[in-house]
Structure 1
Amino acid sequence: MPNEQLQNILQQMPKAELHIHIEGSLEPELIFELAQRNGVALAYKSVESLRNAYAFDNLQSFLDIYYAGASVLLTEQDFYDMTAAYLRRAALDNVRHAEIFFDPQTHTARGVPMHTVVDGIWRACQDGPISASLIMCFLRHLSEDEALATLEEALPLRGKIIGVGLDSSELGHPPEKFARVFERCRQLGLHLVAHAGEEGPPAYIETALDLLNVERIDHGVRCLEDPVLTKRLAREQIALTVCPLSNVKLRVFDHMGQHNLLDLLDAGLAVTINSDDPAYFGGYMNANFLAAFEALPLGLSHAHRLARNSFTASFLEPEAKRDFLAELDAVFATATATATATATATVG
């Protein structure tokens, strides 16, 4: 298929986003707008100077500026405006469903009430142009007792949250550190996911599966270092929510041509493409697809598979999944027919 046709398909195909930190969608322009609205002093003189600071050597250097940016979020309307901006942007990329991570401890530690955080994000999801649901993440550099306290604080808002995750600094904070709180969440019927195998070793993926009982692995790109684990992930079809631009920005890979996305697909893994923290890492969903497909020998069948995986790995109800998959398959049936006709005409 000619490159331009493939690019059009990547941009126009329906897709789900399963790895998006809503605080990581906070663009510098909105940071400055909220800072002015709330009287928050920033360490940067302009939008441009803040954007220029988005140069990271590793995960921790990113997290330092990420948490500083979140300091402007104080009111329910702030959280609403941030989420509404992401949902509008995602819709432009034909994201049809998003499962949004949020980090309440980043905000409650600053005195922002839990209900302010959740209600603002949730209300924007109800008003937004696409389907969206919330996954509450625990910050792994903090203690499990703090995670348990966060869970208890969130229980009155249980109906607005579909699951829990585990994020922040991975190295030195293995999944087993949070076994009790994840077991409590499992008993509550919440969906379970966790970041593992980005900076941390493949063993973190294994313990996230065995000790936390997670249903999806966020990132997981280091799984290929363990052939036994790789076969297990393929056999059990445990989805990996891979974030290509993030992986390059944080030096997991030096450049996109080194990314192991194709190797993961060739190993039979249920890979999805996502944007992670798009305001900081240089691109929303379509930018991630286009960057990966430009650098790697990926084609129409890979695009179809990645988009299908995004819906099958989601926590949507079965009927909604079927509807989205039927729409997606129709897009690719048309694309395949067009490509075949073009090829035939060219040969003729």
Structure 2
Amino acid sequence: MTDLDAFITGLPKAELHLHIEGSLEPEMMFALARRNGVTIPYASVDEVRAAYAFGNLQDFLDIYYAGADVLRTRQDFHDLAAAYFDRAAADGVVHAEIMFDPQTHTDRGIPFAEVIEGLLSACAEAEEKHGLTSLLILSFLRHLSEAAAFATLAQAEPWLNRIAAVGLDSSEMGHPPEKFARVFAAAAAKGLRLVAHAGEEGPPAYVYEALDLLKVDRIDHGNRALEDEVLVARLAREGMTLTVCPLSNLKLCVIDAIEDHPIDQMLALGLKATVNSDDPAYFGGYVADNYRAVATARGLDRDALATLARNSFTGSFLPAEAVAAHLAKLDDWLAAQ
């Protein structure tokens, strides 16, 4: 392990943009398919990995939803999340805010309770096993209707004290944030924080809508905000956290090469960028892999990497005292290097 690898791995960090269904590794996909008697359209792990050549977001989503079909029971969701937490802890993650897509499962007849109780049990296990804290973000699928999102929010009612925020993901193009303005207002009225994917494939206008119509607390991705100087200035002025996912951007052709990634430009412009893994099983890397990729490609120094880690804590939905404690530990760790 090089000095840079060791620094990145040891750097205390939070992960704020992780879809738990997107951490379903091919090996687990096959194991759960066998356990649940589910037929999947691939003959081997290698065949699944070969399918991970995406031309755009929709190509990825097609295989993502097919893979999720193996998730059937509370134990499946526990095992999925537990595997992610083990991997995250090995990458220096001490806090994770993980998104889950209940509609992907409830639309297949899987009870909401099976999904969330499995995830919650894995969250508790991760804190006991690794000291890794976590929060859940319920994400609405934007290609579905507003009515479907309201129905999902209603299903979540018994667990709202265990859910930190709602989010918005899936197919961005043709599904602007404004479509879900009323649902987000209802979620905010219930005390939930708000996040939304915007400016990944969608235009800067979608970022404006997320800010002004959804009134989000942070932006997931946000790359295309860089096309609008006024928007960039606003995001910097408001201290809006961007949960950036470099290897995802590469895999989904948001950028042509990792050397083109704008993460250092974002920091230079005063944007509160963070580094995250998005759907690591599909995009070729967990959070430390994403840090390494941009550090190497863009020549990020230790100060820049520390800024990214610091942003991950200040951009989290942890209470202020927990954020302060994490920042103090980060500073102590940096001083010891």
TM over 0.5: same fold? yes
Q: Residue 196 of structure 1: CA displacement? A: 0.1
| Preserved CA contact (<8 Å) 1:6 1:299 | no
| 1:205-284 equivalences in 2 (<5 Å) | 205-284=207-286
CA distance in 1: counterparts of 2:275 and 2:170, whole angstroms: 20
Deviations 1:60-113 (A, max 9, x none): 000000000000001000000000000001000010000000000000000000
Q: Answer yes or no: is 1:13 the counterpart of 2:15.
A: no
* 2:336 alignment counterpart: 334
Choose from 72, 75, 87 the match for 1:74. 72
Give secondary structure in 2 for the equivalent of 1:298. Answer: coil
* 1:202 alignment counterpart: 204
Structure 2 letter corresponding to 1:34 = L
Q: Residue 297 of structure 1: CA displacement? A: 2.3
Q: Answer yes or no: is 1:309 the counterpart of 2:311.
A: yes
CA distance in 1: counterparts of 2:139 and 2:151, whole angstroms: 13
Identity %: 59
Aligned positions, number: 333
Choose from 187, 192, 202 the match for 1:190. 192
Q: Answer yes or no: is 1:293 the counterpart of 2:299.
A: no
Q: Residue 5 of structure 1: CA displacement? A: 2.8
Structure 2 letter corresponding to 1:24 = G
Deviations 1:43-72 (A, max 9, x none): 111111111111100000000000000000
Give secondary structure in 1 for the equivalent of 2:8. Answer: helix
* 2:183 alignment counterpart: 181
| Preserved CA contact (<8 Å) 1:217 1:239 | yes
Deviations 1:209-250 (A, max 9, x none): 110010000000111100000000000000000000000000
Deviations 1:260-303 (A, max 9, x none): 11111100000000000000000001100001111002111101
Q: Residue 332 of structure 1: CA displacement? A: 1.7
CA distance in 2: counterparts of 1:117 and 1:289, whole angstroms: 30
CA distance in 2: counterparts of 1:47 and 1:110, whole angstroms: 24
* 1:322 alignment counterpart: 324
CA distance in 1: counterparts of 2:287 and 2:274, whole angstroms: 11
Q: Residue 328 of structure 1: CA displacement? A: 0.6
Q: Answer yes or no: is 1:65 the counterpart of 2:97.
A: no
Q: Residue 157 of structure 1: CA displacement? A: 1.5
Give unpaired runs (5+ residues) of structure 2: none
CA distance in 2: counterparts of 1:100 and 1:308, whole angstroms: 18
* 1:342 alignment counterpart: none
Give unpaired runs (5+ residues) of structure 1: 336-348
* 1:338 alignment counterpart: none
